[in-house]
Amino acid sequence: MHTDNRRIVITGVGLAAPNASNLQEYREKLLKGESEISEIDLRYFGKAPAGICSFPETKYRKKKENKKGTRAGCIGVYCAHEALASANLDINEYDVSKVGVYIGLTEHGTVETENEVYNISQYGHDTAYWTHHHNPRTVLNNPAGEITLSLGITGPHYSIGAACAAGNASIIQAVQMMRLGEVDMALAGGISESTGSFGIFASFAAQNALGADEDPKRASKPFDKNRNGIVISEGGCIYVLEYLEKAIERGAKIYGEVVGYAMNSDARDFVLPYGKRQAECMRLALERAGLKPEEIDLINTHATGTKQGDIEECKAVREVFEHSSTTYVNNTKSIIGHAMGAAGVLELAGNLPSFEDNMIHPTINVEELDPECAIDNLVINEAVKADSIKVILNNSFGMLGINSTVIVKKYEKS
């Protein structure tokens, strides 16, 4: 084992979001603040706002294969193929035994288990009607494994359970494995199939943390004084990560360079976040990137629309960036909802094009800003044109007090 300090860049982005199935469409809608959050009616639970993805599910594998696999696997396979297409890369340009697949998940298996329990309830709960596909569908490595099956990748694959910090955690894991020389290239990202689980909606409702509004598109309102909780979304986003020299050699488009990251734990509460530890996480990521707070041009916040969660993150941002007057702040969940394990990577993807157009997409649905969430340069309701965007800091935090920060820099030829 060895450490490798070669620079690592993002050369491909494949995604399925509640309002788009490719990066260009996604970016256009984010800049316009176009939400496509809708209302769904869940078995046992009833109606709730949610983000549902629409993408060509049979573009890369047949309907029969999708039926055999999982919704998370279906999203993952689509995003992985789209990421490679975005990178203009044939997987066989690499030794497939040296390609890693790292997928962040908040939860997995609840959808499949709930469905099976419901199915056998139609037959007197006779477990003879329980599908033999259940075990491979519910093992935690399922979405990552389905990607390797589709692409013929024989290198390592696994899922990373890091609550809603899982998307960022997947990027961090991929970078670390590349720097250890374990893999030469990685597919890293996150997936959420949570809109298929009534239990997740019921749990957030029991915590008084499920967002609601007469208009579902306005239900996700981080930082607004009248916010009332999370809007649950499905989705996925996967990146192609390569060494910089390899990307240059093959003339690849470079979306950004991963220059810093950090993860830590609150060690404080099952659910409630802690701004002090979030601030420590951001500081550690900055230190590793060799950057000062004033060198960050844009912060994408994790803020989910819960009362205390938004306040704690705002405290942390103010603490770390109190002397930075040029750092913009935005929030993507206000537009697409909370995509759980995919949240960090989907939100980062939506901001990466800022390196090209210097535009910052807005945080929408803020009618009355909560004074406790007031942050300098918070972009509200309308997109803003910046002089220059060269460094983005992406926050993702999760239950059991897990925090993550990833810093991505614009690639510029030296």
Does 338 participate in catalysis according to the annotation? yes
Catalytic annotation, pick one of 81, 108, 338, 361: 338
Q: Which two tokens stand for residue 136?
A: 């491979």
Per annotation, catalytic residue among 164, 237, 281, 373: 164
HSE of 221, CA atoms in CB hemisphere, 13 A: 20
> If we measure between CA atoms, which residue out of 128, 229, 164, 159 comes closest to residue 404?
164
CB 55, CB 16: distance < 8 Å:
yes
Q: Taking phi first (over 0 means left), then psi (-120 to 50 degrees means alpha), and beta for anything else, what does residue 359 get?
A: beta
Report residue 311: phi and psi, to 5°.
-65, -45
Cβ neighbors of 310 (< 8 A, separation 6 or more) are: 222, 223, 227, 303, 304, 370, 373
- Which of these, 353, 360, 337, lies nearest to 408 by C-alpha position? 353
Three-class DSSP category at 312: helix
Element (H, E) at 137: helix 134-138
Cβ-proximal residues to 184 (8 Å cutoff; 6+ apart), any chain: 94, 95, 98, 99, 178, 243, 246
Beta-carbon neighbour count of residue 210 at 10 Å? 23
* Residue 164 is among the residues annotated as catalytic for this protein: yes
Which residue among 81, 108, 157, 302 is the active-site one?
302
Residue with tokens 């607004």: 224
Distance CA 226, CA 223 (A): 8
Do residues 54 and 62 touch, judged by C-beta distance below 8 A? no
The residue assigned the tokens 């041009």 is 297
Residues tagged active-site: 164, 302, 338
